[in-house]
Amino acid sequence: MASIITVSGLTKSYASGFQALRGVDLEIEEGEIFALLGPNGAGKTTMISIICGNVRPTGGSVTVAGHDIVRDYRGSRSAIGLVPQELHTDAFERVIDTVTFSRGLFGKPRNDAYIEKILRDLSLWDKRHSKILELSGGMKRRVMIAKALSHEPRVLFLDEPTAGVDVELRRDMWKLIGELRQTGVTIILTTHYIEEAEEMADRVGVINRGELVLVEEKTALMKKLGKKTLTIVLAEPLSAVPPELGEWQVALKADGHEIEYVFDTQAERTGVSSLLRKLGDLGIGYKDLNTEQSSLEDIFVSLVHREKAA
């Protein structure tokens, strides 16, 4: 697939001398959902702000839809819709007016049919004449997305799209973002909720202390770095782990009814078959076996930890 954003050797030092980005290279493919993860202060907002032209880079280059963000700011900016974390819009304005006005800011000719389409897509059409202050928090977020889409951008940035919203609304947003992707728009989101990246992203980038420490397809990442947990449901409960199972470091769970064994899926020998053989030798019967893949969250935590240790 073709790249829509190319980031090369991007660096940023703030006036304080703090180096927020240390040579980031990244290609974003057209049509994908890319999740940028990182602990607080990692440089996510700095990177997005540079790509959107709100912060000047110190070094390196970025192009958006073929436009250099510094030399051709207008060209690159018009390809981008940005949904900031804070909801700032005039509370007394009506939904349809604020969205129509946003389009005008980009110098795009009026297009009522298009505005109607995005308002309908975002389930805002019935609320088009409501004042922003009359809307629920979830609806306000939708208005911010409608504003960001008003000038028909090819890339949509969502900065922490579900920060501080309840679980139901978060699921709604995920569904909505999934639907937006069907329209062909490329989506880049930053998030603290790893579950969000796990649920939606095609690819994941992890940024830590100004460096992009990993970019990978989500499914490949989970396979590659993931651990699996094998749960063995015992025929009879055990009161303690038999010493003969010491080398597998298993844990007893569910009041002694289950043995849990964590293994590395990439290891040459996972230890699963030898463990099962050993159970047979010891006369420990089992009724069921199941395995569970570790979550992206486990992977992320161990990755950032490893970086810290290094």
Ligand X SMILES: Nc1ncnc2c1ncn2[C@@H]1O[C@H](COP(=O)(O)OP(=O)(O)OP(=O)(O)O)[C@@H](O)[C@H]1O
Buried-state track 129-162, b at ≥16 Cβ within 10 A, e below 16: eeebeebeebbbbbbbbbbbbbbebbbbbbbbbb
Does the footprint of ligand X cover residue 164 (CB under 6 A)?
A: no
CB 169 within 8 A of CB 161: no
Handedness of CA 308, 198, 138, 4 (dihedral sign): positive
By C-beta, is 38 or 271 nearer to ligand X? 38
* Residues facing residue 285 across a β-bridge: none
Q: Of how many residues is the chain composed?
A: 310
Point out which span in 43-51, 72-80, 195-203, 214-222 binds ligand X (CB under 6 A).
43-51
Nearest-approach distance from CB 42 to ligand X, in angstroms: 4
Q: How far apart are CA 61 and CA 9, in angstroms?
A: 7
Minimum separation from the CB atom of position 40 to ligand X (A): 4
182 forms part of the interface with ligand X (CB under 6 A): no
Measured torsion, CA atoms of residues 66, 101, 105, 8, in degrees rounded to the nearest 10: -30
Rank residues 16 and 273 by Cβ distance to ligand X and give the closer one: 16
Which token pair is 179? Answer: 């639907």
Contact between 50 and ligand X by CB under 6 A: the answer reads no
The helix/strand/coil state of 107 is: coil
Spatial neighbors of 243 by CB under 8 A, at least 6 apart, are: none
196, 191, 158, 216: which is closest to 295 by C-alpha?
Answer: 196
Select from 37-45, 76-84, 238-246, 296-304 the region that touches ligand X (CB under 6 A): 37-45
Torsion sign across C-alpha atoms 195, 198, 199, 203 = positive
Q: Are 59 and 71 in contact (CB under 8 A)?
A: no
Residue 92 makes contact with ligand X by CB under 6 A:
no
At closest approach, how far in Å is the CB of 299 from ligand X? Answer: 18
Q: How far is the CB of 111 from ligand X (least distance, A)?
A: 34
197 binds ligand X (CB under 6 A): no
> Considering the complex, what minimum distance in angstroms separates the CB of residue 142 from ligand X?
23
Looking at residues 270 to 309 of the shown chain, list those that interact with ligand X (rule: CB under 6 A): none
Between vectors from CA 2 to CA 113 and to CA 197, what angle results, nearest 5°? 75
User: CB of 104: closest distance to ligand X in angstroms?
Assistant: 30
Is residue 40 near ligand X by the rule CB under 6 A? yes
288 burial (CB, 10 Å; 0-12 / 13-18 / 19+) is exposed
Name the residue nearer to ligand X (CB basis): 157 or 261: 157
Work out how close the CB of 86 gets to ligand X at its nearest, in angstroms, rounded to a whole number.
12
| Binding residue (CB under 6 A) for ligand X from 20, 144, 206, 221 | 20
Identify the residue among 24, 38, 143, 279 touching ligand X (CB under 6 A). 38
Regarding 45 and contact with ligand X (CB under 6 A), the answer is: yes
14 is a site residue for ligand X (CB under 6 A): yes
Stretch that binds ligand X, among 40-48, 56-64, 220-228, 264-272 (CB under 6 A): 40-48
3-state secondary structure 232-273: EEECCCCCCCCHHHHHHCCEEEHHHCEEEEEEECCCCCCCHH
Binding residues with ligand X: total (CB under 6 A): 12
- Closer residue to ligand X (CB): 20 or 230: 20
Q: Is 194 one of the binding residues for ligand X (CB under 6 A)?
A: no
Asked if 18 interacts with ligand X (CB under 6 A), we say: yes
Residues of this chain that interact with ligand X (CB under 6 A) are 14, 16, 18, 20, 38, 40-46
